[in-house]
A and B are shown apart, each in its own frame.
Chain A
Amino acid sequence: MTPEETNTLLMKRPFFRFLGFTIVNIEEGHVAAQMPFSESYIGNPVMNYYHGGIIASVMEAVASVAVWQDLRNRSLKPINLTVDYLRPAIAEPLNVRATVLRKGRRMASVEAVSWQAEPEISVAKGLFHFLLA
């Protein structure tokens, strides 16, 4: 599926519309996305940094797309996540790249990383497990 077709499907889901991210690249086991900044994503009201939960949410969303993009007929249930926050995310677009580390018959494990200006300067890294039903 192309990024355009995927975006059309994703935008049918209310919370993905709220997050407003766009899939920019899809390869086998890899998905890249970009999310423009919005006032609604602020967590720290003094510094206008992104809310940590918004960063975790968009990383989980992109991680699920990385698993789901080549098994559309199966449903995906999130099991758990761990996210490490490395530096604050400022009021600018946020990039996310998700990589499928393992995809078995019942479970998939996906790593996601987010950054802003430089891909090497990570904002957060996370590991997401999904049950394939």
Chain B
Amino acid sequence: MLLKEQQRFEQISTLWITRAKGFITHMNLRIEGHGPDGVTVRMPFNPAFCIDEPPTLLHGGVLTALLDSVFGLVNFIAIDDISTMATLDLRVDYLRPAQSRADVLVRAKCYHQTRHIAFNSGVIWFDDDKGDEVARGCATFALTRGERNLFDIQTTPRKPE
């Protein structure tokens, strides 16, 4: 892997985690690495995301939110001049009940991009002995390209008109 690519990955990953707010912060995501198959992210087990008591079974919506979040990250990494993006549509298949107290791992990629649209796919599994896949998903995002990206907008004030 090129040094420049690695630097870009590390820079965007750090920004994405540190500037996150709201639900992405709650998921407590950790970016594990990246390769030709995509970016791998870890979500630690969180009892607040379960729908049973004592908590073992994750609600499917959490897996959907995890895929949506990581698709956003991979698009920031894959698309050089991305400014903002919005999810257009999302499809998730729940392959088996998400019942484990293990951490969740997700691997996602941007498998195609056009000027206006990014196409994403991803897979989720538990970091346990079996490593069974629990969900797969795909999505499309509407892209806005430009010089100022999401992070610039947050850090640099707008120039006066």
Residues of A that sit less than 8 Å from B by CB: 12-19, 39-43, 45-46, 51-54, 56-58, 60-61, 77-85, 88
Q: Is B22 a contact of A53 with CB atoms below 8 Å?
A: no
> Number of B residues whose C-beta is below 8 Å from A?
40
User: What residues of chain B lie closer than 8 Å to A84, measured between beta carbons?
Assistant: 88-89
Binary per-residue interface labels of chain B (60-99) against chain A in the complex, 1 for a CB within 8 Å, 0 otherwise? 1110111111000000000000001011111111100100
A61-B91 contact in complex given A14-B55, A15-B51, C-beta closer than 8 Å: no
Residues of A within 8 A of B154 (CB): 45-46
Q: In the complex, what's the smallest C-beta–C-beta distance from A67 to chain B, in angstroms? A: 14
In the complex, chain A residues whose CB is within 8 Å of the CB of B62: 15, 53, 57
Task: Contact check, A14 vs B86: say whether CB atoms are below 8 A apart.
Answer: no
Cα distance, A15 to B52, chains bound together (Å)? 9
Residue on A with the closest CB to B154? A46
For the complex, what is the distance from the CA of A103 to the CA of B48, rounded to whole Å?
30
CA distance in complex: A45, B24 (Å): 10
Shortest Cβ gap from A54 to chain B (Å): 6
B90 to chain A: which residues have CB within 8 Å?
Answer: 52, 56, 81-83, 85
Contact A88/B64 with A15-B48, A45-B22, A51-B23 known, Cβ cut-off 8 Å: no
Check: B26 CB closer than 8 A to any chain A CB.
yes
B97 touches A77 (CB 8 A): yes
Question: B21 contacts A45, CB within 8 Å?
Answer: yes
* B69 in contact with A82 (CB, 8 Å): no
A38 to B56, CA, bound (A): 25
Complex Cα–Cα for A77 and B61 (A): 13
B87, A52: Cβ atoms closer than 8 Å = yes
In the bound complex, CA of A52 to CA of B72 (Å): 11
Closest chain B CB from A60 CB (angstroms): 5
Cα A78 to Cα B59 with chains together (Å) = 9
Query: How far apart are the CA atoms of A13 and B61 in the complex, in Å?
Result: 14
B16 to chain A: closest residue by CB: A45
Q: Would you give 26 A-B contacts (Cβ < 8 Å), ordered by A?
A: A12-B53, A13-B52, A14-B48, A14-B55, A15-B51, A15-B62, A40-B26, A46-B150, A52-B68, A53-B23, A53-B62, A53-B64, A53-B68, A53-B69, A54-B23, A54-B61, A57-B59, A57-B64, A77-B94, A79-B94, A80-B93, A81-B91, A82-B90, A82-B91, A84-B88, A85-B89
**B51 near A14: Cβ-Cβ < 8 Å:** yes
Residue of A nearest to B59 (CB): A15
Bound Cα distance A88, B53 (Å): 33
Question: CA A22 – CA B48 in complex, angstroms?
Answer: 18
Q: How far is the CA of A51 from the CA of B61 in the complex (A)?
A: 11
Most buried by A among B19, B47, B62, B65: B65
A53 CA to B94 CA, complexed, in Å: 15
Give every chain B residue within 8 A of A60 (Cβ-Cβ): 59-61, 64
